[in-house]
Amino acid sequence: MSVLELRTEIEKKATEEASRILENAKEEAERIIAEANAKTDTLRDEKTKTLMRALDTEERAELAVARMDRKGEILQLKSEWANRVFEEAGKRMAEMSEKSSPEYREVLSKLILEGIAKMRGNRFVVEANSRDVEAIRKEVKIVSERAAKMKNERIDLQVKTQPTISLGGVVVSTEDKTQYYNNTLEACLSYAQQNLTGEVYKIIFKTGG
């Protein structure tokens, strides 16, 4: 019921009540009508306030839902663009690995050294796909020497092919397989996506995420 309809209904009831009172006691008509009008005003004010509160609550609820929907749309947009960024990063990593350039061989060396630094011992196995194994074998002597300086002891490296590593990078483990470090490009990309998405949001949307 609208405010106008509510007012009409209240005034109708007030008029009926006034007429009935006039028929029963004309001498008290003015006093009763005045009281009735006062009650009508009070009732109208109360009903109006109740209605307005209801409308206000409904409006705020609708606004909150709209804001939630809008926030959801923004979050979805951010997520889509962040995914595009990491997808593009994955493509560029794949292109880099396929070229097997000196720069990529240096990347592989750093991935191996990082894995060795994370583990105890001095005998390690480096696993990579067949393409990267060829590149690593060209650098294995240099990598072993750098690892020896880093750990201050002789380092023995074995290089093995692991076909399940598709994109590139390495899995480094101790010879007894009790320790291992996944430094494949897939793992690096996954780690970046988990930990740097907020930074990507800031860069793309110039916000705090």
Instruction: State the average pLDDT over residues 64-93.
Output: 69
Report how far residue 106's alpha carbon sits from residue 71's, in angstroms, rounded to the nearest whole number.
Answer: 43
Tokens found for residue 106: 């240096």
How far from 1 is each of 73, 181, 204, CA to CA, in Å?
A: 35, 69, 49
How far from 105 is each of 10, 139, 181, CA to CA, in Å?
A: 87, 7, 19
Q: Do 94 and 167 touch, CB atoms closer than 8 A?
A: yes
At 32, is the pLDDT very low, low, confident or very high (cuts 50, 70, 90)? very low
Instruction: State the average pLDDT over residues 55-83.
Output: 63
Choice between 194 and 32, residue whose per-residue pLDDT is larger: 194
How far from 13 is each of 2, 34, 44, CA to CA, in Å?
A: 17, 14, 11
pTM: 0.59
